[in-house]
């Protein structure tokens, strides 16, 4: 995947452990039948963190989502640890909250912190009871193994149908202090964020108030994760949490201004990159699709148009087939639920192999099928739409719809 | 496909020619490269018809949709003919309206009727110019071949990726007069009605005012075609038109009452059956899925919930894999965009092979995987949801998501 460069920000390694004071671990606790698969992960901060979070808007919220919301409310937005398991979503069952609370309690006791400072998350099959035993049996091992190099183990523990781990981190300066912000994400199917998506944990050593961190997260989620669609399904378990421990030593950010913008940009870079990784690793995906809509009446309209294209199953199939069936883009733009006109619209398809204009002033134009085939043979396809009506601009990310998506989801539980 | 019986209504043959005074024809005019494929069809009434129609709400409305709207406005809701081609949608191109108007003119001249009494429709690839030549070359042959037995040729002419023709007709009594109402439909992909869907032409010899016919159509579309989703894509070309020529001799229906209810029920039976046919023949489908939601706060909520389940790609894949992954039903209900509670919800899966309750009071319950496998091996699967909150009830129809859907749509244009 290509990585876009941003001036003043340096991509670094380390993911969720890139920032000072954060350690992590992951291991096989027994939720998964495959003993080689990590299924329990933890992230821990040496010091308490201001914490922001956004959650799924699905009515059927998983128990860990509800418990995390309650914990952060009780702790006044302070957290020190993230505990996450895969294979079982702890959703749509009868004793989910009790289990999630008990798991937090086990982690808190082992770490010596208040239970309310634990963020708990689950991902996997919906509708089955989550056993507590694996937490009991492995909490000591999980905590004693926490280290600065544990980010890989932790990200592996939250993977389900993911084929690659998703991590990103950047280094930047705040008032002359070196700051780092990095994260890990999981997600491959059941992804159509409506607020947050998938499981995403981000850490930073920048000092920032909970309120300003929440504001930055809300703004950035809107133009990153919420512009991602793999399959139109909004999960019961989605969560993005950002933990800021302040160890970088900058003056705490408490209002908008240069420092806030700088931190928000770091958050954007990391979340945008993880969004692209999630899209590229969509279940069964062979191509990353990036749809940029500009010239919309406003940003919200641009988002709706770009997402409508990215979500269309017919368009996704055409991209898998490398067929420049641009009529499906027109169709998907046409049913986007917003007020705008398509009469002046231009559409182009592009990739590393070149650019093919397919529509001018709202109507199809002749194009070279040969060039189109070359453009669509690439792994990253850009769909550029200009409505020529205003300043609204947005990008949405997705992937093609393939045989493997059907295969993976035809028998997910086993 | 099983056909539900309704007292007082008899299923009959004849489709769009079942009602008195209607003739039809279809032939290969040259839009399609396969000479054995009919691609131009016509339905004609001996006498002028009161006509009701609903259209796609896609902003990128195809030219024939716009021209038909204008025609029916100019004629005061009177039509005598339907002219439809497949292979080319006459949408997203530059001279689409001129071509559609010219095609109407050719048909009108040959039939000796005003141009405004022609309903014109197209289906196929979006974004290419529609040639007029095939209309010019074949209009005489099309009109001279109109017959009471022409319904099969006409329905074949509007098929695209359809694997079977869709026709339905019923006979019933209005004030002692024998009435008939029948129709034809096409559609297999790009189906997620938002108003009408696909191409659907319905004829009846019942006498009814245009206003009351439109009212009945609007109500029935809401609970039939608009509750159908193959892939979430709302086409640019969708249209449902009902032509009533009054030859049955009943007193013209001009207000609500017993006769209106009786006619509306006939319309419901025919459209509901065609909706089921469209769902069962969804692109690549191996199973018809029928989701019934009851106990909702109101009918609109029930529709939203049922459609949300039917639309979920993950659930559709699970049904293809015959995997009782009911958590995906819970997930899809949870993100349905309406106000309701899931705490009391019951969910059952059923088919000719039996019934498996999977959820009681909002939580999963143990069930026999063996029985579930038998139930899901059938070709018609019913998902029954009871929210236990009110009297709202609705049914939505769809199909599974299969390898063949991806295959068909990976290279549709060629």
Place A189 in a pLDDT band, splitting at 50, 70 and 90: low
A chain contacts of residue B406, beta-carbon cutoff 8 Å: 317, 320, 401-403, 405-406
B chain contacts of residue A93, beta-carbon cutoff 8 Å: 363-364
* Overall average pLDDT of the A181-195 stretch: 70
For A171, A188, A251, the CA distances from A175, given in Å and listed in that order, are 13, 38, 8
User: What pTM did the predictor assign?
Assistant: 0.78
The larger pLDDT score, comparing residue A399 to residue A192, is at A399
* Overall average pLDDT of the B222-242 stretch: 81
String of b and e for B293-327 (b: at least 16 CB within 10 Å)? bbbbbbbebbbbbbbbbbbbbbbbbbbbbbbbbbb
**Each residue's pLDDT tens digit, A302-326:** 999 999 999 888 889 889 999 888 8
Separation CA B297–CA B72 (nearest Å): 38
Asked if residue A186 lies in contact with residue A158, where contact means CB atoms within 8 angstroms, the answer is yes
Cross-strand bridge partners of residue B360: B363
Asked if residue A116 lies in contact with residue A75, where contact means CB atoms within 8 angstroms, the answer is yes
| Dihedral of alpha carbons A152, A158, A164, A170, sign | negative
Contacts of A274 (CB under 8 A, 6+ apart): A166, A167, A168, A183, A184, A185, A200, A224
Our CA-based measurement puts residue B157 at a distance from the nearest CA of chain A, in whole angstroms, of 22
Separation CA A275–CA A289 (nearest Å): 12
Our CA-based measurement puts residue B209 at a distance from the nearest CA of chain A, in whole angstroms, of 32
* Overall average pLDDT of the B328-348 stretch: 89
Separation CA A123–CA B231 (nearest Å): 26
Separation CA A69–CA A405 (nearest Å): 32
Helix axes A96-111 and A63-74, enclosed angle (nearest 10): 50
**CB-CB neighbours of B282 under 10 Å:** 30
Contacts of A233 (CB under 8 A, 6+ apart): A189, A190, A191, A192, B312, B313, B314, B328, B331, B332, B335
Q: Is the pLDDT of residue A192 over 60?
A: no
Class of domain B10-278: alpha beta
* Overall average pLDDT of the A181-209 stretch: 77
| Dihedral of alpha carbons A95, A98, A101, A105, sign | negative
For A229, A340, A342, the CA distances from A360, given in Å and listed in that order, are 27, 16, 10
Q: Is the pLDDT of residue B321 over 50?
A: yes
Q: Is the pLDDT of residue A414 over 70?
A: no
Instruction: Show the beta-strand stretches assigned E in A34-176.
Output: 40-55, 78-85, 118-122, 166-174
B chain contacts of residue A336, beta-carbon cutoff 8 Å: 59
**CB-CB neighbours of A109 under 10 Å:** 13
SS3 content of chain A, % helix, strand, coil (to 5): 35, 30, 40
Least confident interval from A86-100, A196-210, A335-349: A196-210
Least confident interval from A114-123, A131-140, A252-261, A321-330: A321-330
Our CA-based measurement puts residue A299 at a distance from the nearest CA of chain B, in whole angstroms, of 19
Which of A236, A323, A364 is facing B334, going by the closest CB pair? A236
Question: Helix H segments across B116-201?
Answer: 133-144, 151-157
Question: What φ, ψ does residue A151 adopt, rounded to 5°?
Answer: -60, -35
Element (DSSP H or E) covering residue A319: helix A313-320
Instruction: Show the beta-strand stretches assigned E in A279-327.
Output: 288-296
* Overall average pLDDT of the A247-266 stretch: 95
Question: What was the pLDDT predicted at A257?
Answer: 95
Separation CA A381–CA A326 (nearest Å): 13
Q: Is the pLDDT of residue A194 over 60?
A: no
Asked if residue B99 lies in contact with residue B91, where contact means CB atoms within 8 angstroms, the answer is no
**Each residue's pLDDT tens digit, B19-37:** 999 999 999 999 999 999 9
- Chain B, residues 178-197, CB within 8 A of chain A, namely 189-190, 192, 194
Asked if residue B19 lies in contact with residue B86, where contact means CB atoms within 8 angstroms, the answer is no
Whether residue A93 lies within 8 A of chain B, CB to CB, comes out as yes
Whether residue A327 lies within 8 A of chain B, CB to CB, comes out as yes
Separation CA B364–CA B357 (nearest Å): 9
- Chain A, residues 260-289, CB within 8 A of chain B, namely none
Q: Is the pLDDT of residue A56 over 80?
A: yes
Instruction: Report which of A171, A181, A226 is spatially closest to residue A208, judged by C-alpha positions.
Output: A181
Place B314 in a pLDDT band, splitting at 50, 70 and 90: confident
Q: Do A91 and B234 touch (CB under 8 A)?
A: no
Longest CA–CA separation in chain B, Å: 68
**A258 exposure class (CB count in 10 Å sphere: 0-12, 13-18, 19+):** exposed
**Each residue's pLDDT tens digit, A142-158:** 999 999 999 999 999 99
Could you list the active site residues of A?
197
**B246 exposure class (CB count in 10 Å sphere: 0-12, 13-18, 19+):** buried
Q: Is the pLDDT of residue A263 over 90?
A: yes
Could you list the active site residues of B?
197
String of b and e for B213-227 (b: at least 16 CB within 10 Å)? bbbbbeebbbbbbbb
Three-class secondary structure of residue B81 per DSSP:
strand
Residue contacts between A and B (CB atoms, under 8 Å)? 216
**Architecture in CATH of A10-280:** 4-Layer Sandwich (3.60)
Place B413 in a pLDDT band, splitting at 50, 70 and 90: low
Cross-strand bridge partners of residue A395: A292
Asked if residue B385 lies in contact with residue B307, where contact means CB atoms within 8 angstroms, the answer is no
* Overall average pLDDT of the A32-51 stretch: 94
Which of B55, B57, B59 should one mutate to test binding to chain A, selecting the residue with the greatest count of A CBs within 10 A? Answer: B59
Q: Is the pLDDT of residue A2 over 80?
A: no
Instruction: Report which of A242, A222, A245, A226 is spatially closest to residue A234, judged by C-alpha positions.
Output: A226
Question: What was the pLDDT predicted at B196?
Answer: 32
Our CA-based measurement puts residue B74 at a distance from the nearest CA of chain A, in whole angstroms, of 25
Separation CA A381–CA A253 (nearest Å): 38
Separation CA A214–CA A240 (nearest Å): 11
Question: What was the pLDDT predicted at B186?
Answer: 87
Which of B233, B325, B340 is facing A314, going by the closest CB pair? B233
Top mean pLDDT of A50-59, A264-273, A276-285, B271-280 is at A264-273
Q: Do A333 and B233 touch (CB under 8 A)?
A: no
Q: Is the pLDDT of residue B326 over 90?
A: no
**Each residue's pLDDT tens digit, B208-225:** 999 999 999 999 998 998
* Overall average pLDDT of the B337-357 stretch: 93
Separation CA B294–CA B276 (nearest Å): 19
Question: What was the pLDDT predicted at B118?
Answer: 97
Q: How far apart are the first and last CA of chain A?
A: 31
Separation CA A100–CA A264 (nearest Å): 31
Which of B231, B359, B401 is facing A314, going by the closest CB pair? B231
**Domain boundaries, given as residue ranges, for chain A:** 10-280, 288-410
Place A233 in a pLDDT band, splitting at 50, 70 and 90: low
Q: Do B233 and A330 touch (CB under 8 A)?
A: no
**Residues constituting chain A:** 414
Place B197 in a pLDDT band, splitting at 50, 70 and 90: very low
Q: Just give the CATH number of A288-410.
A: 3.10.20.340
String of b and e for A20-41 (b: at least 16 CB within 10 Å)? bbbbbbbbbbbbbeeeeebbbb
Instruction: Report which of A281, A266, A352, A337 is spatially closest to residue A306, judged by C-alpha positions.
Output: A337
Which of A318, A335, A411 is facing B58, going by the closest CB pair? A335
Separation CA B280–CA B268 (nearest Å): 18
* Overall average pLDDT of the B309-335 stretch: 88
Question: What was the pLDDT predicted at A405?
Answer: 79
Question: What was the pLDDT predicted at A180?
Answer: 96
Whether residue B330 lies within 8 A of chain A, CB to CB, comes out as yes
Summary mean pLDDT of chain B: 90
ipTM score here? 0.72
- The share of chain B scoring above pLDDT 90, in percent, equals 66
């Amino acid at each position: 995947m290509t990585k876009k460069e941003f001036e003043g920000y340096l991509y670094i390694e380390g993911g969720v452990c890139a920032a000072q004071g954060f350690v992590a671990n992951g291991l096989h606790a027994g939720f998964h039948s495959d003993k080689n698969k990590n299924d329990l992960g933890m992230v821990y901060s040496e010091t308490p963190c201001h914490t922001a979070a956004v959650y799924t808007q699905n009515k059927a919220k998983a128990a860990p989502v509800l418990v995390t919301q309650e914990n952060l409310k009780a702790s006044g937005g302070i957290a020190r640890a993230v505990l996450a398991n895969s294979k079982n979503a702890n959703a749509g069952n009868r004793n989910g909250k009790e289990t999630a609370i008990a798991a937090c309690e086990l982690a808190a006791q082992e770490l010596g912190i208040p239970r309310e400072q634990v963020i708990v998350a689950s991902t996997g099959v919906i509708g089955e009871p989550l056993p507590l035993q694996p937490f009991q049996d492995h909490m000591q091992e999980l905590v004693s193994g926490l280290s600065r190099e544990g980010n890989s183990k932790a990200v592996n523990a939250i993977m389900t149908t993911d084929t690659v781990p998703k991590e990103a981190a950047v280094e930047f300066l705040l008032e002359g202090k070196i700051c780092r912000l990095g994260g890990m994400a999981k997600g491959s199917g059941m992804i159509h964020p409506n607020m947050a998506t998938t499981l995403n944990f981000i850490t930073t050593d920048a000092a920032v108030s909970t309120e300003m961190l929440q504001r930055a997260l809300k703004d950035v989620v809107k133009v990153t994760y919420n512009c991602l669609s793999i399959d139109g399904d909004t999960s019961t378990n989605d969560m993005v949490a950002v933990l800021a421990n302040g160890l970088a030593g900058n003056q705490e950010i408490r209002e908008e201004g240069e420092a806030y913008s700088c931190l928000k940009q770091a958050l954007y870079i990391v979340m945008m990159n993880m969004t692209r990784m999630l899209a590229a690793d969509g279940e069964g995906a062979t191509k990353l699709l990036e749809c940029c809509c500009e010239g919309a009446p406003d940003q919200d309209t641009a988002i709706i148009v770009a997402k409508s294209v990215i979500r269309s199953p017919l368009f996704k199939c055409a991209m898998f087939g490398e067929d420049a069936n641009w009529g499906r883009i027109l169709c998907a733009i046409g049913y986007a639920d917003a007020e705008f006109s398509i009469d002046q619209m231009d559409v182009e398809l592009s990739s590393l192999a070149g650019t093919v204009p397919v529509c001018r002033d709202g109507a199809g134009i002749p194009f070279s099928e040969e060039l189109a085939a070359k453009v669509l043979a690439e792994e990253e396809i850009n769909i550029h739409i200009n409505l020529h009506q205003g300043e609204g601009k947005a990008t949405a990310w997705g992937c093609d719809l393939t045989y493997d998506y059907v295969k993976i989801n035809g028998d997910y539980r086993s």
